[in-house]
Amino acid sequence: EIVLTQSPGTLSLSPGESGTLSCRASQSVNSDYFAWYQQKPGQAPRLLIYGASSRATGIPDRFSGSGSGTDFSLTITGLEPEDSAVYYCQQYGSSPLCSFGQGTKLEIK
Amino acid sequence: QVQLQQSGPGLVKPSQTLSLTCAISGDSVSGSSAAWNWIRWSPSRGLEWLGRTYYRSKRNNDYAVSVKSRITINSDTSKNQFSLQLNSVTPEDTAVYYCARMGIVEANRHFDCWGQGTLVTVSS
């Protein structure tokens, strides 16, 4: 069974800085089927990145994804207060059919 | 533009059945390019995929192992909606439940559209 482990658990940064969130899979995953989501309190998750590196519609180019195999990352440049949220990685296709990481909380102070 | 609208009760008694519905606009539950999913979030478990229904030559369903014995996802083509039933609920099933669309053609295997979420509390 594939387990996605995200790090760090919490990331505190200042506006204008850049931050990198990590997601490590316990087994190799198909990068075509790897995605990142942003979730703000009281809202549904929003798709940011799919196929490991493709931005979803309407997502600013401050957000970028990279990685393959077992190591993936989400980088956010020029951080803005509105980027405060919990970020989740997700894989599809391996047992379990679909799974999420436990999330990284990004705080912009 | 695809939109998903959830409905259903926010309080369910232990041992009873949780039932939610997700109405689709802008797409079709009987189309062959998307799967229709249920996902839940709780502080203790994070995001958990529960299952999906999709049409490819015939109606198909896949369920997470953790709930496989208790879950049913149905579709209603006349109303263009799909539903979740989770039997024998316990307080551990308390969560925010989401419906979501996942593309199943080409390299699409991500959730690109979500319902608004329904907080379901299991309590007597």
3-state secondary structure (DSSP) of residue A70: strand
In tens, the pLDDT along B22-76 reads: 999 999 999 989 999 999 999 999 999 999 999 988 999 999 999 999 999 999 9
Q: In chain B, what residues touch A56 (CB-CB under 8 Å)?
A: 112
Residue with tokens 């208790």: B70
Chain A positions touching B49 (Cβ under 8 A) are: 96-100
Q: Considering only residues 80 to 99 of chain A, which have any Cβ-Cβ distance to chain B shorter than 8 Å?
A: 88, 90, 92-93, 96-99
Confidence of residue A49 (pLDDT cuts 50, 70, 90): very high
- Asked, as a colleague might, if the bond just before A8 is cis with ω within 30 of 0, I would say yes
pLDDT at A95 exceeding the cut of 90: no
pLDDT at B111 > cutoff 90: yes
Distance CA B69, CA B55 (A): 22
Q: How far is A10 from chain B (nearest CA, A)?
A: 15
Q: B115 is written with which tokens?
A: 């319902």
pLDDT in tens, A52-93: 999 999 999 999 999 999 999 999 999 999 999 999 999 998
Mean pLDDT of chain A: 96
Closest CA in chain A for residue B107: A32
